[in-house]
Structure 1
Amino acid sequence: MPREGRSLTWVKPGVEAPKLSIVIPMLNEALGIETALALLQPLRETEVEIIVVDGGSTDHSVALATPLADTVVVSDTGRARQMNLGAERAHSPALLFLHADTQLPEGAVEQISQALSTHCWGRFDIQLEGHSRWLPVVSTLMNLRSRLSGIATGDQGMFLRREAFDAVGGFPDQPLMEDIALSKRLKALSPPACLGIKVVSSGRRWDKFGAWKTIRLMWRLRYRYWRGVSATQLAKEYRNAR
């Protein structure tokens, strides 16, 4: 198994740098990682590299992901650390951070390329899928909030130019709200490109803990973060609430 600083990498000899690097953080995703990566396989033939960064899974996630990715690397636990390490391993001038339970829409790579020709970063609209009948409402509110605030969430598939990622210092090393913090840093460079085509993301969190309970929890945590409460403290509250 690879350790931090070492990776299992497949490099196509004589091929130029990929046009997009997709960085996927994962932790104990054995039930779904094969399906998620299988959907991305056609992109590997179109100058797109897939980098999976494991945060110390105790299941078979790494073994399942290795044949379906260009690079698999094991990091310390923490989504921000995992994504930063994945960015270090990336070879493309364009980065896409994609959650393991999120699927890209058709034409996503072309849309990203077009968006990054005029913006330094952006994100997709989102469609949450699950059992709760409230998920379409949650999705609509997430998209509206993001357009009004210029803040993206990791579930929305954040993409950006490598130079912008480096300019803001990547994701801050914090256990929660790393996507919000990165969005705020990037907003200082430019507003985001808000793509109307939708990524499809799992609503398992809302299904498991209840839609409105989860909404209240996330809004409370965001409000407290805005008021200056540390991400470390909020991460403890989030774990306790779950």
Structure 2
Amino acid sequence: MRLSIIVPVLNEAVVLPGLLERLLPLSRHGCEVLFVDGGSTDESVAMIKCAGFKVVPSQPGRARQMNAGAACTSGQTLLFLHADTELPTGAVDCISQALSSDLHRWGRFDVCITGQHWMLHVVGHMMNLRSRWSGIATGDQAMFVTRAVFDAVGGFPDQPLMEDIELSKRLLSLSRPACVSRCVTTSGRRWETRGVWRTILLMWRLRWNYWRGVPVDLLARAYQ
């Protein structure tokens, strides 16, 4: 099945050079790669177009951007990739194998978080364990799904936060996720900029409040 890689971006000029270099070989080998810009004011759009990739404009917000990207792609399988996340070697084959039977209709990779703080390794390990136990995936884990199933559940919910968790809940009604043990690598900049322990506590509090039914708009303001 042809794979469409959808990358939401918003002022990502700092990380784009490495990302573009990594995605070019995948594009040359038949993957469809689409960037969805949420209104960047830096050089992001110019850099993407200069590398030869297509950019689709969208209203800001990851959920809206990823839905807009899915609507503009033609692959039978969709991979949603954050700009600061690096796919492992052989990622396309991993996805193909994970979805080769009816047992799994969607999935995600294990994640390793890069950075200076030792706790980032523990954070990534706990994210992977939690995901295997709960069946809930996060955007940092490079979620992938067949187009038919993505369309069947209505895509990402139009909400400013926790869109990955809500999509996982919808997809769980159809199958458990395929958990690919090969790691994607994602930047720990969010944790290190805000403080690793502070960010860990914030994310746990936000998730707990989300499960309790606190309106997602309030959680998004707390996140910001």
Please give the range of the TM-score, normalised by the shorter of the 2 chains: over 0.9
Partners of 1:158 and 1:230 lie apart in 2 by: 24
Partner of 1:43: 26
**Deviation string for 1:204-229 (max 9, x for gaps)?**
01111111110100000000000001
Is 2:197 the partner of 1:212?
Answer: yes
Is 2:140 the partner of 1:160?
Answer: no
Partner of 2:119: 134
Conserved 8 A contact 2:111-2:183: yes
Conserved 8 A contact 1:126-1:139: yes
**Deviation string for 1:155-174 (max 9, x for gaps)?**
00000000000000000000
Mapping of 1:85-124 within 5 angstroms? Answer: 85-118=68-101, 119-124=104-109
Runs of 5+ unmatched residues, structure 1: 1-17
SS at match of 2:8: strand
SS at match of 2:35: strand
Partners of 1:132 and 1:191 lie apart in 2 by: 32
Q: Give the alignment's TM-score, normalised by structure 2.
A: 0.97
Q: AA paired with 1:74?
A: P
Q: AA paired with 1:220?
A: R
Partners of 1:132 and 1:28 lie apart in 2 by: 25
Partners of 2:57 and 2:18 lie apart in 1 by: 20
Q: Give the alignment's TM-score, normalised by structure 1.
A: 0.90
Runs of 4+ in structure 1 over 4 Å off: none
Q: Greater CA deviation, 63-72 or 147-156?
A: 63-72
Conserved 8 A contact 1:52-1:69: no
Partner of 1:196: 181
Partners of 2:16 and 2:37 lie apart in 1 by: 11
Partner of 1:233: 218
CA RMSD of aligned residues (A): 1.0
SS at match of 1:148: helix
Conserved 8 A contact 2:48-2:54: no
**Deviation string for 1:65-107 (max 9, x for gaps)?**
1133542111111000000000001110000000000000000
- Residue correspondences, number: 222
Partners of 1:150 and 1:169 lie apart in 2 by: 19
Runs of 5+ unmatched residues, structure 2: none
